[in-house]
């Protein structure tokens, strides 16, 4: 099932499904209310492909309402603009697939659909870099080296310096140096504070919000 706040987009989604001979295409809606009504009437679980223009809140209330249905759908949210996205907030971790519309040509749409079919959550692989670049642009005095970025990601997963060294192929003392550099740059005293500060600045995602396909 398709959904978009734009009548033209909704029409094109329906036409594309018909052209591709997609089996069991339910339809395409242009309001959140229509989406809920149609999906609630379906006896089987379906896949909703929705553009973030479906509602002023980009579909947050819609996704929450659909989650409360007896048979909630799988949701692939298509993002026309990433400007409204914030780390740790909707839709990260709350939809089954998150994909920028401009990523279509890269084959990500197929990857997203395949991942969802396997029961895996999929997020556009370009999003972490986009959010990180935005965060650094808003904090021009804070610059992390590629190795510091990798170390920060591993700290966010709860790894020790020894484990980080093993994963990155570096000495444990070097991993410790990177960790100390990060503590200094973010002005914190321990790893817990480091993770919290990194999430607030958009340098690190909340655990579980990013799942690789």
Cα-based distances in Å from 78 to 91, 96, 101, 109 = 11, 11, 6, 10
What is the per-residue pLDDT across 14-50, written as a single tens digit (0 to 9) for each? 887 777 666 788 889 999 999 999 999 999 999 999 9
150-166 mean pLDDT: 93
From the centroid of its chain, how far is CA 27?
Answer: 25
Q: pLDDT band at residue 122, thresholds of 50, 70 and 90? A: very high
Helix axes 161-168, 146-156, angle to 10 degrees: 130
Could you count the other beta carbons within 10 Å of the beta carbon of residue 86? 10
Query: Is 1.10.10.10 the CATH number for 140-200?
Result: yes
Q: Locate CATH 3.40.50 in the chain.
A: 2-125
What is the per-residue pLDDT across 86-111, written as a single tens digit (0 to 9) for each? 877 899 889 999 999 988 877 888 89
Fold of 2-125: Rossmann fold (3.40.50)
Report the C-alpha gap between 91 and 2 in whole angstroms.
18
Report the C-alpha gap between 78 and 71 in whole angstroms.
22
Mean pLDDT of the chain: 87
């Amino acid at each position: 099932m398709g959904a978009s706040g734009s009548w033209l987009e909704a029409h094109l989604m329906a036409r594309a499904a018909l052209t591709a001979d997609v089996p069991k295409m339910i339809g395409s809606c242009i309001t959140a209310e229509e989406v809920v009504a149609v999906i609630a009437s379906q006896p089987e679980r379906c896949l909703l492909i929705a553009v973030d223009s479906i509602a002023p809140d980009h579909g947050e209330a819609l996704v929450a309402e659909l989650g409360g249905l007896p048979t909630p759908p799988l949701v692939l949210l298509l993002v026309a603009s990433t400007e409204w996205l914030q780390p740790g907030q909707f839709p990260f971790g709350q939809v089954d697939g998150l994909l920028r519309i401009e990523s279509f040509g890269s084959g990500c749409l197929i990857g997203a659909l395949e991942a969802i079919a396997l029961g895996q959550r999929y997020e556009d692989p370009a999003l972490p870099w986009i959010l990180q670049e935005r965060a650094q642009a808003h904090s021009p005095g804070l610059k992390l080296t590629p190795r510091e970025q990798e170390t920060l990601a591993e700290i966010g997963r709860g790894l020790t310096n020894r484990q980080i060294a093993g994963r990155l192929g570096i000495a444990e003392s070097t991993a410790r140096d990177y960790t100390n550099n990060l503590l200094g740059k973010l002005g914190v005293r321990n790893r817990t504070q480091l993770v919290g500060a990194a999430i607030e600045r958009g340098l690190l995602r909340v655990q579980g919000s990013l799942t690789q396909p």
